[in-house]
Copies of this chain bind each other. A is one copy, B any other.
Amino acid sequence: MNSKNKHQLNPRISADCVVFGFDFSQLKVLLIEREQVEGFDISLSLPGDLIFEDEDLDMAANRILNELTGLNDIFLEQVGAFGNPDRLSKASDKAWLKAVRQKPEERVVTIAYYSLVNMNNYQPQASSFAKTACWIPVHEISELAFDHYTIFQVALKKLKDKIKTQPIGFNLLPEKFTLSQLHKLYEVILGRDLDKRNFRRKMLKLKIVESLDEKQEGVPHKPSQFFKFNEENYTQLIQNGYDNFGF
């Protein structure tokens, strides 16, 4: 630790969130429409903000998430730090930074998070984000501002890996859900078909879902049983070292 101080990096730090949601048919991400600047098109970015002086990294991510969605105590996990020196140097990004930042040239290291929300609970907020936040299906996401497309890809990879090993998918569903919805969710995240019967068999055998005395109503077909996530059984499972759903 003997480097000369004057050559050391002294950046701002931001937190950016990849907020995933599921509308029972597609996996989506909450993105922000960045206003047009200097003739550059509208572009989409991850919700994020610079971190305050006395703020912890995780606190900052929670704050951003709360300002965006009005939600608290949401599943939130770090993806990693992204600090490439040229991550802000696309022409369109520079123009935007020039318009909104006091020191637009300043280097920014971002700490990326991903979070899973139940889209039903999501209420557009009266925050600065409100008018411009939108859910975009993951397969329609292509270009994003800054290095956000890279961040999104890493986050999605992390979600895919994690769901094989821990039942975090429940965070994307309401309290009551049907096994078909859960099944669809796994298919959408993993990007491949899963046999319906085998999927149900596994979930029921592990006892991490519990049948409720309630059925769908008003659907033009056989109504589906509602289930809820059984957290106690799940906790016991992982305490016994179980960490592989075998998907």
Residues of B within 8 A of A54 (CB): 85
Q: Is the CB of A51 within 8 A of B81?
A: no
What distance in Å separates the Cβ of A1 from its nearest Cβ neighbour in chain B?
5
The answer, yes or no, to whether A198 is at the interface (CB within 8 Å) is: no
Q: Is the CB of A50 within 8 A of B3?
A: yes
For the complex, what is the distance from the CA of A96 to the CA of B49, rounded to whole Å?
33
For the complex, what is the distance from the CA of A103 to the CA of B246, rounded to whole Å?
51
What distance in Å separates the Cβ of A15 from its nearest Cβ neighbour in chain B?
10
Residue in contact with A78 in the complex, picked from B12, B80, B109, CB distance below 8 Å: B80
Residues of B within 8 A of A161 (CB): 165, 243
For the complex, what is the distance from the CA of A103 to the CA of B1, rounded to whole Å?
13
The answer, yes or no, to whether A38 is at the interface (CB within 8 Å) is: no
Q: Is the CB of A8 within 8 A of B3?
A: no
The answer, yes or no, to whether A65 is at the interface (CB within 8 Å) is: no
Q: Is the CB of A11 within 8 A of B10?
A: yes
The answer, yes or no, to whether A111 is at the interface (CB within 8 Å) is: yes
Q: Is the CB of A12 within 8 A of B10?
A: yes
The answer, yes or no, to whether A52 is at the interface (CB within 8 Å) is: yes
Q: Is the CB of A9 within 8 A of B83?
A: no
Q: Is the CB of B3 within 8 A of A49?
A: yes
Residues of B within 8 A of A103 (CB): 5
Jot down 20 A-B pairs with beta carbons below 8 A, ordered by A. Answer: A1-B128, A3-B49, A3-B52, A7-B53, A8-B50, A8-B51, A8-B52, A8-B53, A9-B12, A10-B12, A11-B11, A11-B13, A53-B107, A57-B83, A57-B109, A78-B80, A109-B109, A164-B243, A164-B244, A244-B244
